């Protein structure tokens, strides 16, 4: 039986940005974004845009949010991102309008090919469409699209696309019911 050999792991093909860009983002992020200090949203948005994030209007970013690479991040209008959210975006994460990402959610765009001896990196874009809600302490896996107005309930894990106007729960998340939005 073959064994994994992490000594042969090689993701040199992956180029997320220059060392200097990543270094300065790490410093700025730890001071202003991934910090418990209550910096004004305008300062957070300024630095995110400075580093290449595409940010809309009326955005809330709570304290202690970890964003790996802002140049792979799009946040449209009327978005709320809660405390301790981790956007681990090796590739694009697109958060559309009127989306809520609750406390402690993990958006993970990278995984590894466990079937290969070299444990290769497998990146996958995440898209969260209009009106969706990513509940507290959830995990959204690489390559997942959360369609319009879908809900991922507390503590659930999205390993595949979640259909529009549906509520999903569990690990892995399964369809629970239709989401009805009242006036």
Alpha-carbon separation of residue 135 from 5, 108, 139, 173 (angstroms):
36, 15, 9, 12
Average pLDDT rounded to a whole number, residues 116-141: 97
Q: Residue 11: how many CB atoms within 10 A of its CB?
A: 14
Query: Across all residues in the chain, what is the average pLDDT?
Result: 96
pLDDT value at position 1? 83
Q: What is the pTM of this model?
A: 0.95
pLDDT value at position 164? 98
Burial label for 20, CB within 10 Å (0-12, 13-18, 19+), is: exposed
Domain 17-176 has CATH 2.160.10.10: yes
CA distance 46 to 149: 28
Taking the domains of the chain in order of start, what are their residue ranges? 17-176
pLDDT in tens, 35-74: 999 899 999 999 999 999 999 999 999 999 999 999 999 9
Strand partners, 61: 81
Say if residue 183's pLDDT is above 90: no
Average pLDDT rounded to a whole number, residues 161-175: 98
């Amino acid at each position: 039986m073959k064994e994994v050999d992490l000594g042969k792991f090689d993701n040199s093909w992956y180029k997320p940005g220059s060392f200097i860009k990543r270094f300065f983002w790490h410093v700025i992020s730890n001071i202003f974004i991934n910090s418990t200090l209550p910096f004004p949203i305008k300062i957070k948005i300024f630095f995110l845009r400075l580093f290449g994030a595409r940010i809309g209007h009326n955005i809330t970013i709570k304290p202690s949010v970890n964003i790996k690479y802002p140049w792979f991040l799009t946040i449209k209008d009327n978005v709320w991102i809660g405390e301790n959210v981790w956007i681990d975006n090796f590739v694009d994460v697109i958060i559309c309008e009127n989306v809520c990402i609750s406390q402690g959610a993990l958006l993970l765009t990278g995984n590894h090919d466990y079937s290969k001896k070299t444990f290769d990196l497998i990146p996958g874009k995440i898209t969260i469409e209009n009106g969706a809600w990513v509940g507290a302490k959830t995990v959204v896996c690489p390559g997942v699209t959360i369609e319009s107005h879908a809900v991922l309930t507390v503590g659930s894990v999205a390993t595949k696309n979640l259909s529009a106007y549906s509520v999903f729960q569990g690990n892995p998340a399964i369809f629970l019911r239709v989401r009805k939005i009242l006036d």
